[in-house]
Structure 1
Amino acid sequence: MSTNRKHINIVWFKRDLRLQDNEALHNAIQTGQPTLLIYVFEKSLKKDTHYSERHWNFIKQSIVALNTQLENSNTKILSISSEVVETFNIIQEIYKIETVFSHQETGLKITYERDKSFKRFCKNNQINWIENTNNGIFRKLKDRSNWISKWENYMNEPQFIFDSGEKNFLDLEAINTLENILKKQNLDTIPDTIFQKGGSTMAHKYLQSFFDDRYFNYSQNISKPLLARKSCSRLSPYIAWGNISSRQVLQKAATFRLTCSNKKQIDSFISRLTWQAHFIQKFEMEETMEFGSVNKGFHSLKKKINENYIIAWKTGQTGFPLIDASMRCLNETGYLNFRMRAMLVSFFTHNLWQPWQEASQHLSKMFLDFEPGIHFPQLQMQAGETGVNMLRIYNPIKNSLEHDPECEFIKKWVPELKNLPIQFIHDPSKMTFLDQKFHNFDIGIDYPKQIVNIERTRKFASDYLWGIKKNPLAKEESFRILSLHTMADIGDSD
């Protein structure tokens, strides 16, 4: 190791892929020290079953967008395919790392263990590691008694402004040298895919178009699978991967509300931002819910895995058109509105009577906006295993009639049904033998038979879960959960 190593700081990007309102980047710049910006495509995470190529492509696009913004600063993000400690260890051979700046990550157990390993590495190498609060999620909270006020104070603080220009960053020549030593990550992605494209520029375009006109029917269309694709903000992947901060979104919404013509819609949108943070904070405080029910009273619940059910659900072949359309849409585009997501989980855990853990990895892979802090609390809530939320078992046919009355969404994603009369598109099981002959359509051949009886399975699931909810341990746990997580300022919600 050279004794004449240049002293540098490092900004380690994770789920904060932006320049504006990035406290870690801001703090690094304020030191005046030469600074390296880095993102590590961790091999262990790329192998993790919660992630898929759509996530890595979104991240790559986000970094390409960052590099475009950094051109005036004569630098770029050093993008490496390796592991974090291994990468920093090699850099430490070339430079003396003074301080690493990053945001705290509310992630999977694998990222938590990685952070603990990195902390040991920093201590052993006399490196200072400064982690900043991310989106108003606070570590080591004992309860939620004053969380909402802390979150609001955080959201109302001034944003961290990034100005272009050279700011003591390691220059392109130095970064190119590091790329030749380390394993450089190729950032190319397939253009013009159906997925939303990553990057802060795209995030702000979606935000602006939402406030331009899309927000006006936000509340009316939020539960409708087709109309929600336009009326919802579609910001979730950009917030999840940090292309835009929650504070940027909230402050712009609050400013826009002052002059907009439909304040009720913006209030509803702002409320959703609050609940998003609430669920992530819940996961930050009880990370074990990645693996088991947050309410220990439900640990006794054992469900027999049925691979045929799971395959039918994953591929959109259950015989329930809205379920199948929703899954096929999610698999193809990476997006589905909240109500349809809840319905997919409800159907899987209640009607198919499968453990939510068996749904977790497929959904996380498909959701372009996969956010662990949203993912696991919502899975458990929709599965009815928190003990504190209302048990909801969605009827897919009733939801189809209410939220896709003309079957436009179903026709798009289950085209084999599109030539049938609307009443049969909603519920093909209503077709008699003569109906099938008349329409030249065979249930079980042209479209699957319903794999379960939803009325019977709904009753079974409801009775069983209510029985568990009444047991002493579940009640005790419910009280603990309410005491720890309920916020008096805004109550609890599903």
Structure 2
Amino acid sequence: MRIKREPIHIVWFKRDLRLEDHEPLHLALQQNEPVLCVFVFEKLLLDNEHYSQRHWDFLKESIRDLNTQLEAYNTKVLAANSDIISTCNLISNDYQIKSVYSHQETGIQVTFDRDKSFKRYCKNNLITWHESIQNGVLRGLVNRESWFDNWNKIMAEPLINFSADSADFLSLNAIYELENQFQTTDLNTSKEKPFQQGGSTLGWKYLKSFLNTRHKDYMFHISKPEKSRKSCSRLSPYIAWGNLSVRQVYQTSKTTQTPSSHKKQLAAFRSRLRWQAHFIQKFEMEHIMEKVSINKGYHKLKKSISDQYQSAWREGNTGFPLVDASMRCLNETGYINFRMRAMLVSFFTHILWQPWQDASKHLSQQFLDFEPGIHYPQLQMQAGETGINNLRIYNPIKNSLEHDPDGVFIKHWVPELRELDLPFVHEPYLMTTLDQQFNDFELGVNYPFPIVDLKPQRKRASDVLWNMKKNATVRSESIRILKKHTLDNRSLLLKNKD
């Protein structure tokens, strides 16, 4: 005779590792049966070339932070090293899974395919799967006509407070027994590099310090590679991995008391939260962006792949100081500001004339805040392959002089240039043989010569891409893209874009 299994509800955490303003958790806690919180370190993502150890460490820290908060409720997150279907099968040996609650995930294609498989699994096993939207991004939209109004409405809805009792959850002892069936994940990390650490507790600290003091120079320093490290919010990894919801950040920034002279800074910050959601929604509606250009007219653009160029770019040894400083900083810390990200992509795709797809893997592995919905649209926009955006070919020397005039950022991340006179910090290749002797410095030995000649490379990219804008397929695709992604307040978004 089969023993009757105790019914439970599962909250499947993905990129939403928080307790507050978490609709799936809130809905699960309204049921009469115990709730089990689950996170699955999935092989399909662990093996994916767009992720790296820094991401898994951030997630582990986030789960440890969740477990600390859940201690008061005599429960914790079951962290399995498996896949969601196998995890549910093992749990079903001991419990009847009545329902699963989660957020819709706007991730890469493999996660969408996984969700389709899990939907079939739930149907076949009489499990109800409740999915909530995350951060105002809607799956299955046909057009964007009312998207902006809907997003504003979602951001204005009351925050969902976490409220629970120990009896609402599956107990620690029960979870320990369950873990005997699993290959669980060791949540300890051994990071040696200065990455931001995960968890909503730290996320709130970053938010409060930004709103209390750091925001006052937000717009003035947002493009500065060194100053932006403090004046920008630094919330992007906490939003990307769901330690904070966008609605929490948006509403908290609106209610913050700040001098009138600083209000514009926070308004600009909120506009970028809207812009972020806009790009994620675009990716959700145009999933081909993960592999090929959204504008089919650019599929015919062919570029010769250079392993030498790509290796120098990845390692920060191109001979262009601001490019190299930005890449080395990103590799070491997981963060650089938006303008430097754009410049790195522009340099790779325009100056080195390499396909944006070849930049995708390295950048996503390095960005601690890797968000697919931002990553792929931005790669294509900066590469000039959308047909609807202005072509921007960043001049690394001009940006160096404008945004790091004293060479502070360059000297920090390219220490071999520290002792040179300031003009040579920006352009070391201008040193004569005598200059090199006086400085005990040899180009090609202490620091590489420029890997390419900047001026003709910029001209080639400009000529080719501007000419392609006249192509009939590019033009018709541009009209299609604009029609599909037009916003009621598109002009406002464009105005507020960095």
When normalised by structure 2's length, the TM-score is 0.97
Deviations 1:53-89 (A, max 9, x none): 0000000000000000001111000001111111111
- Cα distance per residue 1:281-306 (max 9 Å; x no partner): 00011111000000001000011110
Is the CA contact (8 Å cut-off) linking 1:203 and 1:244 kept in structure 2?
yes
Matched, 1:489 2:489: yes
The correspondence of residues 237-256 of structure 1 with structure 2, limited to 5 A, is: 237-256=237-256
Change (3 A) 1:2 1:440: farther
1:90 shift after superposition: 1.2
2:225 corresponds to: 225
Aligned partner of 2:73 in structure 1 is: 73
Counterpart in 2 of 1:180? 180
CA–CA distance in structure 1, aligned partners of residues 91 and 66 of structure 2: 22
Moved over 4 A (4+): 257-261
Structure 1 regions of 5+ residues with no counterpart? none
The answer (yes or no) to whether the contact 2:146–2:488 under 8 Å persists in 1 is: no
Q: For 1:396-475, what aligned pairs fall within 5 Å after superposition?
A: 396-475=396-475
Task: Tell me what 1:324 maps to.
Answer: 324
1:314 is displaced (CA, Å) by 0.1
Does the 8 Å contact 1:61/1:187 carry over to 2? yes
CA distance in 1 between counterparts of 2:363 and 2:423 reads 30
The aligned counterpart of 1:160 is 160
Match of 2:37 in 1: 37
Query: In the alignment, is the contact (CA less than 8 A) between 2:29 and 2:164 conserved in 1?
Result: no
Task: Return the letter of the residue paired with 2:352.
Answer: L
Which residue of structure 2 aligns with residue 63 of structure 1?
Answer: 63
Distance 1:6 1:111, change over 3 A: same
CA root-mean-square deviation? 1.2
Q: Secondary structure at the match of 2:180?
A: helix
Deviation string for 1:223-252 (max 9, x for gaps)? 000000000000000000000000000000
1:361 aligns with 2:361: yes
What SS does the corresponding residue of 2:39 show, helix, strand or coil?
strand
Q: Is the 8 A contact 1:70 1:164 kept in 2?
A: no
Alignment check: 8 A CA contact 2:203 2:235 kept = yes
8 Å contact kept, 2:429–2:449: yes
1:28 aligned residue: 28
How far residue 165 of structure 1 moved from its aligned partner, in angstroms, is 3.2
Letter matched to residue 405 of structure 1: P
Which segment drifts farther, 269-278 or 188-197? 188-197
Q: Is the 8 A contact 1:2 1:93 kept in 2?
A: no
SS in 1 for 2:256: helix
Distance in structure 1 (CA, Å) of the matches to 2:345 and 2:486: 23
Paired position in structure 2 for 1:82: 82
Separation in 1, partners of 2:152, 2:257: 17
User: What amino acid is the match of 1:467?
Assistant: N
- Number of equivalent positions: 494
Residue 263 (str. 1) matches residue 263 (str. 2): yes
Which one-letter code corresponds to 1:100 in the other structure? Answer: V
How far 1:168 sits from its partner (Å)? 1.6
Match of 2:147, as an amino acid? W
CA shift, 1:91, in A, is: 1.0
Tell whether 2:172 aligns with 1:138.
no
**AA in 2 matched with 1:42:** E
Alpha-carbon distance between aligned partners in 1 of 2:165 and 2:314, rounded to the nearest angstrom: 48
| Residue 207 (structure 2) aligns with | 207
Q: Secondary structure at the match of 1:129?
A: strand
Q: Residues of 1 paired with 2:298 and 2:316: CA distance?
A: 28
What is the rounded CA distance, in whole Å, between the counterparts of 2:334 and 2:260 in structure 1?
Answer: 31
Query: Residues 361-386 of structure 1: CA distance to partner in whole angstroms, max 9, x if unpaired?
Result: 00000000000000000000000000
Which residue pairs with 2:120 in the alignment? 120
How has the CA–CA distance of structure 1 residues 170 and 259 changed in structure 2, closer, same or farther, with 3 Å as cutoff? farther
Asked if the contact 2:106–2:284 (Cα under 8 Å) also holds between the matched residues in 1, the reply is yes
Residue 387 in 1 paired to residue 422 in 2? no
SS of alignment partner, residue 86 of structure 2? helix
Matched to 1:450, the amino acid is P
Contact 1:10 1:37 in 2 (8 A): yes
Distance between the aligned counterparts of 2:191 and 2:145, measured in 1?
A: 47
TM-score if structure 1 supplies the norm length? 0.98
- The SS at the match of 2:29 is helix
Partner in structure 2 of residue 337 of structure 1: 337
Moved more, 30-39 or 402-411: 30-39
Gap runs ≥5 in structure 2: none
Aligned match of 1:305: 305
Paired residue secondary structure (1:65): helix
The one-letter amino acid of 1:127's match is I
Aligned-partner SS, 1:110:
helix
- Give the Cα–Cα distance (whole angstroms) in 1 for the partners of residues 183 and 72 of structure 2: 25
Identity of aligned residues (%): 58
* Cα distance change of structure 1 residues 260 and 42 upon mapping to structure 2, 3 Å threshold: farther
**Preserved contact between residue 137 and residue 281 of structure 1 (Cα < 8 Å):** yes
Q: Is the 8 A contact 1:280 1:374 kept in 2?
A: yes
Report the equivalent of 2:196. Answer: 196
Distance across 1 between alignment mates of 2:70 and 2:261: 37
The one-letter amino acid paired with 2:263 is K
Partner of 2:281: 281
Could you say what secondary structure the match of 1:31 adopts?
coil
> 1:30-59: CA deviations, max 9, x gaps?
112211100000122111000000000000
SS at match of 2:158: coil
